[in-house]
Chain A
Amino acid sequence: MPERTARELFLGEGPGAGSGSQNLYVNLGPAHPAMHGIIRIFAELDGEVVVKTDVEIGYLHRAFEKDCEAGPYNNAIPYTDRLNYVSPLINNFAYASAVEKLLGIEITERCKYIRVVMSEISRVCDHLTCVGATAMELGAFTVFLYMIKAREFLWELVEDVTGARLTISYGRVGGVKADLPDGFGIKLRKAFAEVRQVLTEVHTLITGNRIFMDRMVGVGALSAEESIAWGITGPMLRAAGVPFDLRRVQPYWAYDRVEFEVPLGKNGDNFDRYLVRMAEMEQAIRMVEQALERMPGGAINVDFEGREIPVDAYVDRGKQGKTEGLLLLPITLSPNLQGQGRAAQERVNVADKTVVMPPKETTYGSIEGLMNHFMLVMDGYGIRPPAGEAYFAAEGANGELGFYVVSDGSDRPYRVRCRPPCLPPVAALPRMIEGQMIADIIPTFGSVNMIGGELDR
């Protein structure tokens, strides 16, 4: 609190002195129970009305962009996990796609579908978290627990595919780390049945609930023109009635081959944002189901039977130089933990030896494969896009997630810029809450869905 303000507050000095009424200054955050993220809102209050606010961010800054410059291209993948840590898969793929654009390579069909499936699962996770947290802050704790339960089913799926729940590092330049595991389709259907049930329950609990409506309808509204001027994208812009969805207007991966609707709101207030997110979850589930059906190669990983040998036996033979015929023998690898065998590798990764790691059979079984492997991991070698720049935008859960990558021709990105989807809404937060009641900050802040990782980078 500035010195002058303290004197005004406690000693009755300053402009309001003598009138018996002074504005009060309140800090919300950086660590506040109703702020699910580290951010400070310094608010000037006149009674309960917010007169002016100053939003301070940066508490979670960890030099993402600087760190990306310090290592080879694939080294940035784990950092992108930590941008939007609720839907990390989308970050992985968007970054990988930006580098692929720079390299001018086209990923395989199956990989495109895998990226769609995993991105949409992430989107559901993200919206579940956002809606659940917002409802909890308005007192509906049950909704939060239900939605986190639903998210848990989806995170189990993500764990099945990637080996981790949150720090997944599943995307790779030129493909993905591994193919989908056995039985993925069956597990997915089970999880989606649960999620759908939760969505129905939540609709019954809070859509139309008097308390929830009173706190959400007409609160924190932004018009379509204003949202555009503030650079707001994603569900918040669609809640204001603007049909801007990158998956529809500039389709990438396989989004032009699945059917979906773009849910739109009308008033651009918190309630419409809630409804748009709820409707988007249903659409995302629809997209995953279609993508899984149309995925080339089917949802199952294994198509070589009987000829495989255990991986340790394979490596031993390779080390002893008994490599004759070895290249033709497939090995058994857990797809998510140890990497992938050739059959899976070729389906999901581009056939470009300067970009993608060779399959493990080749690395263990031949000197060329081993050299190829080293050419990709040695300092100063690795992926080397030609000098130039590329901007790739994906529809993240909060809006346009853009990666602007500049290459100088070396094996490290010269500059990686992440356009964080939740920075514009947070910048517009003062515009949304000034003139409203202090209690309205909470649902508005909730519907902004601020994610510290990508906001502060």
Chain B
Amino acid sequence: MDGSAILARLHVRLGAQVLETHEHHGDHTAVVAREGIVDALTFCRDDADLRFDMLMDLTAVDYLKFPGREDGPRFDVVYHLYSVAHNHRVRLKVRVEQDAPFVPTATGLWPIANWFEREVWDMFGIRFEGHPDLRRLLMYEEFVGHPLRKDYPIERRQPLIGPNV
């Protein structure tokens, strides 16, 4: 299926839950409402024509300093889906406000979402509601803050930890 047909199908099935769609450089994106994201992902995975059986990537972008989006929702959680069966791709996005940084988890759909979501929590401080084990993935538990947020300064140092410090 080509990208615009995928987006059209999402529009038909999910209706108003799809807030916006666009195409950039051949990548097709649908922005989905937060309440509808699990439905959208389930539909993408199970629909016979879409069959997005692989969650290729899950990440986030902090738009705090993005020109033109300073006042909009601060984060985008980005899902890259790929279908091994049909060899096509789509990108789903969920906009997340700074005051309520949480998204429902996708761990029930793909087991790999577990680690990807842990990384997003670690790096951006976005919670995944219903995640079974939301610990930091790359940083250590004592680390303060979420380093990939745009307001985390790149040169900040944190104290050493451990028994001999």
Q: A: which residues have CB within 8 A of B?
A: 57-58, 61, 63, 65-67, 69-70, 101-102, 104, 228-231, 233, 242, 244, 249-250, 387-391, 393, 400, 402, 404, 406, 408-409, 414-415, 417, 419, 423-424, 427-428, 431, 456-457
Contact = CB atoms under 8 A, between A and B. Distances in A.
Given A58-B140, A427-B112, A101 B87 contact: no
Contacts of B84: 228, 242, 244
Interface string B125-142: 000000000001111100
Contact of B80 (A229, A242, A419, A427): A419
6 contacts: A67-B154, A233-B54, A391-B57, A419-B80, A424-B115, A428-B112
A231 B84 CA distance: 11
Contacts of A414: 61, 66
A66 B25 contact: no
Contacts of B55: 231
Contacts of A419: 56-57, 59, 80
Contact of A61 (B53, B62, B138): B138
Contacts of B110: 229-231
A102 B80 contact: no
Contacts of A231: 54-56, 110, 112
Contacts of A393: 56
A457 B154 contact: no
Nearest to A393: B56
A66 B150 CA distance: 9
B91 interface: yes
In order of increasing CB-CB distance, the 7 nearest A-B pairs are: A231-B112, A58-B138, A427-B115, A419-B57, A61-B138, A417-B59, A388-B24
**Interface footprint category on B:** 35 or more
Contacts of B42: none
A303 B111 CA distance: 55
Given A65-B148, A427-B115, A404 B78 contact: yes
Interface of B: 24-27, 29, 53-57, 59, 61-62, 65-67, 78, 80, 82, 84, 87, 89, 91, 110-112, 114-115, 123, 136-140, 147-148, 154
Contact of A66 (B111, B137, B147): B147
Contacts of B147: 63, 66
Max chain B CB contacts within 10 Å: which of A231, A393, A406, A409?
A231
A61 B119 CA distance: 12
A423 B54 CA distance: 14
Given A231-B112, A389-B29, 12 more contacts: A58-B139, A65-B148, A67-B154, A229-B111, A231-B56, A388-B24, A400-B56, A404-B57, A404-B80, A419-B56, A419-B59, A428-B111
Nearest to B62: A415
A404 B93 CA distance: 13
B152 to A, nearest CB: 8
Nearest to A427: B115
A402 B54 CA distance: 14
B139 A389 contact: no
A61 B140 CA distance: 10
Contacts of A431: 111
Nearest to B119: A423
A390 B111 CA distance: 26
Contact of A427 (B25, B53, B114): B114
A326 to B, nearest CB: 39
A57 B154 contact: no
B87 A389 contact: no
A408 B87 CA distance: 30
B143 to A, nearest CB: 10
A245 B55 CA distance: 16
A383 to B, nearest CB: 15
Contacts of A417: 57, 59, 61, 78
Contacts of B59: 404, 417, 419
